[in-house]
Structure 1
Amino acid sequence: MIHNFNPGPAALPPAVIARAQAELADYHGTGMSILEMSHRSKEYEAINATAEAHLKALLGLGDDYRVLFMQGGASMQFALIPLNLLPAGGVAEYIVTGSWGEKAYEEAQRLGNTRLLASTAADGYRSLPDAEALTPDPQAAYLHITTNETIQGVQWPAELPELGSAPLVADMSSDFLARPFPAERFALMYAGAQKNLGPAGVTVVVIRQDLIERGRKDLPVIMRYATFAKNNSLYNTPPVFAVYMVNLVLEWIKEQGGLVAMAERNARKAAMVYEAIDSSNGFYAGHAAPEARSLMNVTFRLPSAELEKRFLSEAQAAGMVGLAGHRSVGGIRASLYNAVSPESAATLASFMREFAQRYG
């Protein structure tokens, strides 16, 4: 058995893969695979509409929000957000708690006036800023955060602190639908699908109608959120198979009990791995401060680079893949997205304890 801890593309629910396999050659009696079906067909339009409805239902959102299926990953959104939402003379504020927030801020700086409201770079992105010490501008075009940093393993709490009255925009690529959260507090949420939602190839954007309406009108048509909303994400050819898979994953989440069940499952997995770190007498050193620890990406170091290489080699031999830390920081990273089973987390925790006994 392979235990998949890859950070993205990541594990998918086995039931979803099995269903996709069963439907692959002949989708619902059409005689065609979903891979070769027109995005203008009634079958695909039904998938597209159902996926939007499923997602809004899971988030508890109504008709004042739209779900857009786009391409280009979160990295494309780093540019599209200021292009659409940051007017001339306006300012966008950013809170940076890791590498992806840093990239989003750097991209926005190229496109308009920005303000770094807070950054935890000084402590190596181990913590979250003190929200009470922040002075957000209520007139800002928007305030951007990254709810979970995959590289450093730092995550905002589901119940966010007060962050002012400017429209709140969030990169949720690595913890979207991993737990209940007050979705109505966000004006725009975006997520690359390849972690909790489906395969690589589609980016989900959940955006409030008023932001769509106020977006700039002088952009190329393909770069406007209004274009995707008006055309139900069908202005150009969408990533049909990826959206189909997202719809299956959304159905799976609903069948498991929704976001409450995902939160319980994810907390249980993370607790097993963090306990192996905390009980190791310092053999494993977690990167994130305990109060900022991610449920999705558990990051830690061993006493030496040599031991980290040995850990990765022995883990892979035992069927655990994808545990190497990001190339920019090294170390170990266990990604525990929704589809990763509690059994996989237990297997990793047991391996960590045994490895520490042998080499600690």
Structure 2
Amino acid sequence: MKKHNFSAGPCILPEEVLKKASEAVVNFNNDDLSLIEISHRSAPFVEVIEKGRKLALEHLNLLDKGYQALFLQGGASTQFLMTAYNFLNTKAAYLNTGTWSSKAIKEAKLFGNLVEVASSEDKNFTYIPKGYSIPNDVDYFHCTSNNTIYGTQMNVFPETDVPLICDMSSDIFSRQLDFSKFDLIYAGAQKNMGPAGTTLVVIKEELLDRICREVPSMLNYKTHVEKDSMFNTPSVFPVYVSMLTLEWLKNLGGINFIEEVNNKKAKLLYDEIDRNPLFNGIVAKEDRSVMNATFTINEGLQSRFDSMWKEARINGINGHRSVGGYRASMYNALPLYSVQALVDVMKELERKA
């Protein structure tokens, strides 16, 4: 039996997706050729990437609404650069909610002036800032919807007349939002969609008209839109697995269905963290992430707890090195019984303590 996988990324993937993907590596479409050795411009793979792009827009309710979906390379880290390279002409506004926001800010400063509208760094990013205002003279506003390392998540997005750009790497396709509010969404696949190696970018076509400077071809969104996300050889296997995962999600009932499941998983774990006197939540309750639950344990109990969860075949709950403690990542493919297994260990520790 597979271990209960709470890894923050690369993420857990559905068993049926892994099975189909492994078969495709050996024999794709019964053509006696591997998926990873056929031409990326062959009809079978073009069908894969086109289906993946369409499914992404369908799930976000953006199909035929003036948006393009792209599968690019370089991870979300390259998007920190690309968003600014393409759209930061004079000044941009950023919300700083953690490590990845900070890295996006660092890259953007290479291209223009920045307004940091708010930051939660004063409390080690354990909350989401509120009550900030966005200047109306900026080129765009950038935020991170979910902070994997710290375990916080934005529940409300600001109303603004400037383009809204969001890094959704760790909660993409996990909950229903009005995605038409966003002009550009990007997400590294390895947090909730597929293996590392591709990055989903969903961009409003009107935003392309705002690209004013000369941008190198590989870093220019226009290039990838014009070439249907096939300007260069895409990451064939990660794109295929991402497509399979999006197909799996559609067959389940889409984002509406998985959001209910995710909320049940999060409630189960957070209720135990709040009830059990041996454990303590790290972040503000109103800003807790449904995807990444962070918590600590009372002093002197860590070694015993570690032994117990490892014996229970639980994997990947160590906290990020910059935060410590524990982090249980509950991405779409994580079953409810895995969360129950972790909760059972926490209860057993309480009984033995």
Is TM more than 0.5 here?
yes
- Partner of 2:15 in structure 1? 14
Mapped to 1, the partners of 2:217 and 2:184 lie a distance apart of 19
- Partner of 1:223 in structure 2? 219
Mapped to 2, the partners of 1:309 and 1:208 lie a distance apart of 50
- Partner of 1:148 in structure 2? 146
Mapped to 1, the partners of 2:302 and 2:9 lie a distance apart of 21
- Partner of 1:43 in structure 2? 44
- Partner of 1:341 in structure 2? 335
1:126-145 paired onto structure 2 within 5 Å? 126-130=126-130, 133-145=131-143
The question of whether the paired residues in 1 share the 8 Å contact of 2:120 and 2:129 is answered with yes
Q: Please state whether the residue corresponding to 1:330 is helix, strand or coil.
A: coil
- Partner of 2:175 in structure 1? 179
1:53-202 paired onto structure 2 within 5 Å? 53-63=54-64, 64-87=66-89, 90-130=90-130, 133-157=131-155, 160-202=156-198
Mapped to 2, the partners of 1:309 and 1:72 lie a distance apart of 37
Mapped to 2, the partners of 1:247 and 1:62 lie a distance apart of 16
The question of whether the paired residues in 2 share the 8 Å contact of 1:277 and 1:284 is answered with yes
The question of whether the paired residues in 2 share the 8 Å contact of 1:312 and 1:323 is answered with no
Mapped to 2, the partners of 1:110 and 1:25 lie a distance apart of 44
1:288 to 264, 272, 283: 283
Please say if 1:326 is aligned against 2:320.
yes
Mapped to 2, the partners of 1:358 and 1:93 lie a distance apart of 51
Comparing 249-258 and 213-222, the one that deviates more: 213-222
Mapped to 2, the partners of 1:217 and 1:117 lie a distance apart of 25
1:287-306 paired onto structure 2 within 5 Å? 287-304=282-299, 306=300
Mapped to 2, the partners of 1:310 and 1:111 lie a distance apart of 50
Residues 138 and 27 of structure 1: CA distance in aligned 2, closer, same or farther (over 3 Å):
same
Comparing 94-103 and 198-207, the one that deviates more: 94-103
Mapped to 2, the partners of 1:198 and 1:144 lie a distance apart of 24
- Partner of 1:33 in structure 2? 34
Q: Please state whether the residue corresponding to 1:28 is helix, strand or coil.
A: coil
RMSD over equivalenced CA pairs, Å: 1.3
Mapped to 1, the partners of 2:136 and 2:264 lie a distance apart of 38
- Partner of 2:204 in structure 1? 208
Code of the residue aligned with 1:222 in structure 2: it is M
Mapped to 1, the partners of 2:108 and 2:92 lie a distance apart of 8
Mapped to 1, the partners of 2:331 and 2:120 lie a distance apart of 24
Q: For this pair of structures, how many residues does the alignment match?
A: 351
Code of the residue aligned with 1:59 in structure 2: it is L
Q: Which runs of 4+ in 1 moved over 3 A?
A: none
Mapped to 2, the partners of 1:356 and 1:144 lie a distance apart of 43
Residues 310 and 78 of structure 1: CA distance in aligned 2, closer, same or farther (over 3 Å):
farther
2:252 to 242, 256, 261: 256
- Partner of 1:354 in structure 2? 348
2:261 to 250, 259, 265: 265
Code of the residue aligned with 2:49 in structure 1: it is N
Contiguous gaps of at least 5 residues in structure 1: none
Q: Please state whether the residue corresponding to 2:298 is helix, strand or coil.
A: coil
Report the Cα offset of residue 356 of structure 1.
Answer: 2.6
Mapped to 2, the partners of 1:77 and 1:161 lie a distance apart of 20
Report the Cα offset of residue 151 of structure 1.
Answer: 0.6
Residues 309 and 202 of structure 1: CA distance in aligned 2, closer, same or farther (over 3 Å):
farther
Query: Deviations 1:108-161 (Å, cap 9, x if unpaired)?
Result: 12332111001011122121112xx3221122111011000001100011xx24
Query: Deviations 1:296-322 (Å, cap 9, x if unpaired)?
Result: 000001122x53344233212220010
The question of whether the paired residues in 2 share the 8 Å contact of 1:26 and 1:33 is answered with yes
Contiguous gaps of at least 5 residues in structure 2: none
Mapped to 2, the partners of 1:116 and 1:310 lie a distance apart of 43
Mapped to 2, the partners of 1:128 and 1:69 lie a distance apart of 29
The question of whether the paired residues in 2 share the 8 Å contact of 1:98 and 1:154 is answered with no
Report the Cα offset of residue 213 of structure 1.
Answer: 2.9
Mapped to 1, the partners of 2:25 and 2:330 lie a distance apart of 28
Mapped to 2, the partners of 1:205 and 1:340 lie a distance apart of 24
Residues 218 and 116 of structure 1: CA distance in aligned 2, closer, same or farther (over 3 Å):
same
Comparing 181-190 and 98-107, the one that deviates more: 98-107
Mapped to 1, the partners of 2:22 and 2:291 lie a distance apart of 27
Alignment TM-score, normalising by the size of structure 2: 0.96
The question of whether the paired residues in 1 share the 8 Å contact of 2:88 and 2:108 is answered with no
Query: Deviations 1:241-277 (Å, cap 9, x if unpaired)?
Result: 1101111000000011100111011011111111110
